[in-house]
Structure formats: structure tokens, C-alpha cells
Amino acid sequence: GGLQALALIIMGVALVAILLAIPRPTVKASKGKPLPFRAVLGRVWLYGMALALASAGFGVIATFITLFYDAKGWDGAAFALTLFSCAFVGTRLLFPNGINRIGGLNVAMICFSVEIIGLLLVGVATMPWMAKIGVLLAGAGFSLVFPALGVVAVKAVPQQNQGAALATYTVFMDLSLGVTGPLAGLVMSWAGVPVIYLAAAGLVAIALLLTWRLKKRPPEHVPEAASSS
């Protein structure tokens, strides 16, 4: 029981994923000379920065919401995390074609706006229901950020570099989640737990502004993969 059972369940889910992936056909390598890493980074880093800034909201909820509830003297932190997770997964299930319909950058800006409202609600919450609505909105808002920005980021490079572009783009989220905990902990020890949610909302607002600027930027020409024949 307890953590051991949870660990076994997680291992079982991972094993099922591996078994489902094995029969999938392999992806053929694209022809053409790949770009160096520096060139790939130069084309996707702005999208990665927007993702990193938005990931701060995800990080402070996943890491500190239990401390937030404890500081407020409230019960229900586990339920709040459940709401966050359900909103995160549920939004992806409800809007699977949203990115194709209105575009990745448009979806990202809508998501940022929803996430900002959610984080602000948590930060100013004076009642448990406010925090619960806040985490629900934050989870729904962050849910489509990764794929929405990702589909645009990979299109910024030729086809033979799209795998490298996706990997580079993903690193920004990993780094953000890695530094969010320690930095938020420092801010929390100095200014209190609610402040970290207000600060995260500010970071997501910067991501919204950055994405708006990316949308206004003229499209770049991406050369086709060169044939090896």
C-alpha cells in the first residue's frame, strides 16, 4: 500500500506505454543536411522561452499548493491537485483540434490568459473555493501551451531538423521546472506563499506578450530539405 503501490502503478502505466509503442512503425529519417545545434536553438528559443515562463505556473502549483493550503489553515490540498490534473488532461481531450483550427500562437495566447486568471485567483484567495477555481483554470490554461507553441516551433526549421527542434524546445520546460522550485522557495521564505502565485502570473503575462510579438513578426522562409540524390 501507500507509496509502494503508487510506484508500482506508475511502473505499470509506463510498461503499457512501451508495449503500445513497440508495434508502431518506425519513422523514416528525412533526407538533407541537418542544421547545427546553434542554428536550431536560434530558431526555436523564443518559443522555448514562452514555454519556460508559462511552466512556472505549473511548477508552483504542483510543488507548493499543499504548503499554500497549510499556510492558510485549509483542508483540501489533495482535491485541489486533483482538480488541477483533471483540468490539464480534460482540456486536451475537449479541444484536440483547437490548434489546427485557430493556430498554435492563438491557442497559446488564450491559454496564457486563462492561466494568468487562475494564478491570480490562487494568489489572492481568501476562501478555499477561490483557490480551487484558480487551480482549475491554471491547469486548463497550461494544458495546451506545450503543443500549441511546439507545432509552431518545429515549423521554424527544415523537416530534417524538426526532431532536434522539438528536443531543444522541450529542454526549456525541463529547465524551468528545475529552477522554479528553488527560486519560488526563496521568494516564499521572504514574502509568503501567496506571492509566488502572483509572481508566476507575472511570468505568464510576459509569455503572453512574447507570443503576441511572435504572432506579429513576419513569417520566416524555411528551406525545404535538400535531396541526397
Mean pLDDT of the chain, nearest integer: 90
Q: For residue 219, what pLDDT is reported? A: 64
* 137: confidence class by pLDDT, cuts 50, 70, 90: very high
Q: For residue 32, what pLDDT is reported? A: 66
Residue ranges and CATH numbers for the domains of the chain are 43-216 (1.20.1250.20)
CB 101 within 8 A of CB 117: no
Q: For residue 150, what pLDDT is reported? A: 94
Question: Which among 59, 71, 72, 74 is positioned nearest to 184, based on CA atoms?
Answer: 59
Sign of the C-alpha dihedral computed for residues 220, 44, 199 and 92 taken in this order:
positive
CB 138 within 8 A of CB 61: yes
Q: For residue 161, what pLDDT is reported? A: 84
**pLDDT value at 228 more than 50:** no
Q: Cell numbers at residue 9, please?
A: 502503478
The 10s digit of each residue's pLDDT in 142-201 is: 999 999 999 999 998 888 888 889 999 999 999 999 999 999 999 998 998 999 999 999
Helical H runs in the chain?
Answer: 2-21, 37-72, 77-94, 98-102, 104-124, 128-143, 145-154, 162-191, 193-216
Task: Determine the Cα–Cα distance for residues 167 and 69; give it in Å rounded to an integer.
Answer: 35
Q: For residue 54, what pLDDT is reported? A: 96
CB 45 within 8 A of CB 192: no
* 68 contacts: CB under 8 Å, gap ≥ 6: 77, 122, 131, 193, 194, 197
Task: Determine the Cα–Cα distance for residues 161 and 211; give it in Å rounded to an integer.
Answer: 22
Q: For residue 225, what pLDDT is reported? A: 47
Helices 193-216 + 162-191 axis angle, to 10: 150
Q: For residue 227, what pLDDT is reported? A: 39
Question: Which among 122, 155, 150 is positioned nearest to 136, based on CA atoms?
Answer: 122
- For the entire predicted model, the pTM comes to 0.85
* 78: confidence class by pLDDT, cuts 50, 70, 90: very high
Q: For residue 223, what pLDDT is reported? A: 53
CB 67 within 8 A of CB 60: no
Task: Determine the Cα–Cα distance for residues 150 and 22; give it in Å rounded to an integer.
Answer: 25
Range among 7-11, 23-27, 85-89 with highest mean pLDDT value: 85-89
The 10s digit of each residue's pLDDT in 30-58 is: 666 777 888 889 999 999 999 999 999 99
